[in-house]
Amino acid sequence: MDIRKVKKLIELLEESGIAEIEIKEGEEAVRISRMPSGTVVHALPQFPAAISPAAPVQPIQSAPASEIAPKPHANEHVVTAPMVGTFYGSSSPGAKPFVEIGDEIKIGQVLCIIEAMKMMNQIEADRAGRITSIMARNGDPVEYGQPLFVIE
C-alpha cells in the first residue's frame, strides 16, 4: 500500500465525521482510528512504512531508574543498558542463558542481547567478577541506563 494513499485516508478521516476506517489491499491492511486526543494510525506488521500520528504523543511519565534500583555496595558494579530495546538472556528461545546468578564472568563475556530496530546487540561484561543479580527478564523492554546486572 502506498504511503500517499494512507496519508490521503488520514486527511479524509480528519475532514469527515468517521471514527475509524480499515482498508485491505491484497495481504496488506491498515486501520486508521480517531481518538479524542487525535488521529492514531495502526499498521499491521507487514506494512513497510511507519506513520506519525497527527496529534503530538504524550510521553508516559515513569520514575527514573535511580529511584527504582537499589544503590550498589562499594564492591558491586552495575551493568546498565547502553540502548533502548528488548532484553534477551539467551541466544534463542529455549537456549541456555548467557549468564546466571552465581556465574563467574570475564571481561568481554556476553551477558545478554538487546534487540533494537531488528538488530541483535550483544552486551559484554566490562568487568570480571560474579553475577549477583539479574534485573531484567527475557522479553522485557529496557531503557537506556536501566540496570541489568550486578557484578561483585
CATH number at residue 110: 2.40.50.100
Percent residues over pLDDT 70 in the chain: 69
Which among 99, 97, 107 is positioned nearest to 129, based on CA atoms?
107
Supply the pTM of this predicted model.
0.52
What domain count does the chain have?
2
79 and 9 part of one domain = no
- Segment 135-142 mean pLDDT: 91
Cα of 49 vs its chain's centroid, Å? 18
Name which residue leads in pLDDT, 26 or 137.
137
**DSSP percent split of the chain into helix, strand, coil, nearest 5:** 10, 40, 50
Print the domain residue range for 36.
3-43
Instruction: Report if residue 7 sits inside a domain.
Output: yes
Task: Give the pLDDT score at 108.
Answer: 92
pLDDT, tens only, 39-97: 444 444 444 444 445 555 555 554 554 444 455 567 789 999 999 999 999 988 888 99
94 and 142 part of one domain = yes
105 and 38 part of one domain = no
Split at pLDDT 50, 70, 90, the class of 37 is very low
Q: How far is CA 46 from CA 22, 65, 69, 79, in A?
A: 15, 34, 37, 35
